[in-house]
């Protein structure tokens, strides 16, 4: 019997609240992140936590007038320090809508926010990146070297690349090859990116350059049929979310054009995910590409569930995973 070579598994998660109805820090971040720490410790894995530091900046901005927000900010900081001390990577994750977000009647008001960095001036972009980086680096035991754009909105990269390079952030993980989102506020296009685990680039992450200054550690793409989206729609119409996750917030709805495209198209490329709703597709992805030697599975603490963690465990066993590793550790092989 021929021995099957072992496979590398890159694990990453976006440590963030919801954009729309934010949910609570305890249920969206603290509790599910602890489940992830338990999971990785049990299996001897390491992973990357891409931290939405804009959220933490916003908490700090209101902390002086709101004791509870000050407490939440300190709880988050304490958890992130523990995550780093346990050998996991903290990566920079910028959702710039927090720059405009204000507290209104005890809830976050996202109504007048700018979602993508390209909606900000050049000076504002530099300031956002520098302040977010400094906040995260103060919590990390290791240099912060990796970045993921909020909502995968990484373009135009030339507006952020020079600042990231100056800060020592030379690894990006914002690209899911083959994906495209048609949405006026949150849209992106990685449809022409190479379907490879990683590559070098300079000015655009989707364009490979042999000796590029940056490394892209891509998230594994997953082809999803339209029946998956019809199933989710029927669940919602029936009053179910189509899955139960730890977080207690609500995401902003995607635009009507994108909804129609998903329901009427033959298939759509999405990200391979440990989140509850998509975790049911993990074993399907493995069956479709049994020879793939590197899998990058991403997720969000807020969207995890006990069921999705069990599915991730089953996937890792079926794929004959050698180790669960961070984005930065995998980038060292590219």
Residue spans per domain, the chain: 7-331
pLDDT band for 1, please (50, 70, 90 cuts).
very low
Residues 6+ apart with CB under 8 A from 241: 235, 277
pLDDT band for 268, please (50, 70, 90 cuts).
confident
Q: Higher confidence at residue 145 or residue 244?
A: 145
Q: Over 50: is that where the pLDDT of 76 sits? A: yes
Q: What is the mean pLDDT of the chain?
A: 90
Q: How far apart are CA 245 and CA 260, in angstroms?
A: 25
Q: How far apart are CA 7 and CA 59, in angstroms?
A: 40
Number of Cβ within 10 Å of residue 289's Cβ equals: 14
Q: How far apart are CA 334 and CA 326, in angstroms?
A: 13
What's the pLDDT tens digit per position in 150-161? 999 999 999 999
Could you give the percent of the chain with pLDDT greater than 90? 78
Q: How far apart are CA 29 and CA 139, in angstroms?
A: 16
Average pLDDT estimate for 247-264: 70
Report the run of H or E that residue 133 belongs to, with start and end: helix 122-137
- Whole-number pLDDT of residue 95: 97
- Which range among 175-189, 252-266, 296-310 has the greatest average pLDDT? 296-310
The two three-digit tokens of residue 89, written as one number:
């990577």
Q: How far apart are CA 232 and CA 226, in angstroms?
A: 10
- Whole-number pLDDT of residue 236: 55
Average pLDDT estimate for 171-179: 96
- Whole-number pLDDT of residue 101: 96
- Whole-number pLDDT of residue 246: 95
- Whole-number pLDDT of residue 224: 81
Could you give the percent of the chain with pLDDT greater than 70? 89
- Whole-number pLDDT of residue 5: 57
What's the pLDDT tens digit per position in 16-38? 999 989 999 999 999 999 999 99
Asked whether the beta carbons of 49 and 83 are under 8 A apart, the reply is yes
Q: Higher confidence at residue 48 or residue 185?
A: 48
Q: Which residues pair with 269 in a beta bridge?
A: 223
Number of Cβ within 10 Å of residue 3's Cβ equals: 6
- Whole-number pLDDT of residue 4: 45
CATH architecture of 7-331: Alpha-Beta Barrel (3.20)
For residue 315, how far is the Cα from the chain centroid?
19
Q: How far apart are CA 118 and CA 73, in angstroms?
A: 27
* Alpha-carbon separation of residue 168 from 154, 164, 199 (angstroms): 17, 6, 18
Q: Over 50: is that where the pLDDT of 330 sits? A: yes
- Whole-number pLDDT of residue 80: 98
Go through the chain and tell me how many residues it has: 334
pLDDT band for 181, please (50, 70, 90 cuts).
confident
For residue 236, how far is the Cα from the chain centroid?
24
**Residue 41 backbone dihedrals phi, psi, to 5 degrees:** -65, -40
Q: How far apart are CA 319 and CA 276, in angstroms?
A: 19
Q: How far apart are CA 195 and CA 296, in angstroms?
A: 12
Q: Could you give the maximum distance between any two Cα atoms of the chain, in Å?
A: 67
Of the candidate ranges 98-112, 153-167, 233-247, 307-321, the one whose mean pLDDT is the lowest: 233-247
Asked whether the beta carbons of 52 and 150 are under 8 A apart, the reply is yes
Report the run of H or E that residue 282 belongs to, with start and end: helix 282-288
Average pLDDT estimate for 61-81: 96
Average pLDDT estimate for 256-264: 61
């Amino acid at each position: 019997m021929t021995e099957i070579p072992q496979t590398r598994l890159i694990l990453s998660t976006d440590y963030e609240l919801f954009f729309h109805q934010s949910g609570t820090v305890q249920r969206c971040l603290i509790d599910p992140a602890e489940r992830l720490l338990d999971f990785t410790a049990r299996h001897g894995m390491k992973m990357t936590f891409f931290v939405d530091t804009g959220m933490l900046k916003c908490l700090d901005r209101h902390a002086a007038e709101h004791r509870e927000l000050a407490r939440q900010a300190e709880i988050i900081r304490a958890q992130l320090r523990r995550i780093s001390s346990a050998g996991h990577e903290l990566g920079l994750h910028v959702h710039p809508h927090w720059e405009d977000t204000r507290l209104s009647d005890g809830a976050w008001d996202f109504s007048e926010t700018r979602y993508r960095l390209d909606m900000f001036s050049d000076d504002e972009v530099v300031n956002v990146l520098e302040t977010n980086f400094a906040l995260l680096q103060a919590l990390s035991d290791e240099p912060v070297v990796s970045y993921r754009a909020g909502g995968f909105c990484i373009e135009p990269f030339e507006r952020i690349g020079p600042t990231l390079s100056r800060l020592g952030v030379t690894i990006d993980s914002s690209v899911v090859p083959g994906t495209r989102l048609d949405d006026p506020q949150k849209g992106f296009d990685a449809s022409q990116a190479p379907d490879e685990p990683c590559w070098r680039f300079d000015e655009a992450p989707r364009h490979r350059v042999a000796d590029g200054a940056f490394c892209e550690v891509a998230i594994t793409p997953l082809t999803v049929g339209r029946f998956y989206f019809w199933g989710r729609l029927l669940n919602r119409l029936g009053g179910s979310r189509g899955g139960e996750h730890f977080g207690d917030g609500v995401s902003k709805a995607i635009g009507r054009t994108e909804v129609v495209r998903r329901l009427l198209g033959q298939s759509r490329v999405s990200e391979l995910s440990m989140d509850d709703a998509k975790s049911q597709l993990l074993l399907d992805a493995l069956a479709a590409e049994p020879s793939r030697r590197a899998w990058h599975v991403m997720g969000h603490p807020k969207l995890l569930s006990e069921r999705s963690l069990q599915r991730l465990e089953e996937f890792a066993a079926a794929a004959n995973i050698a180790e669960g590793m961070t984005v930065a550790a995998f980038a060292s092989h590219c």
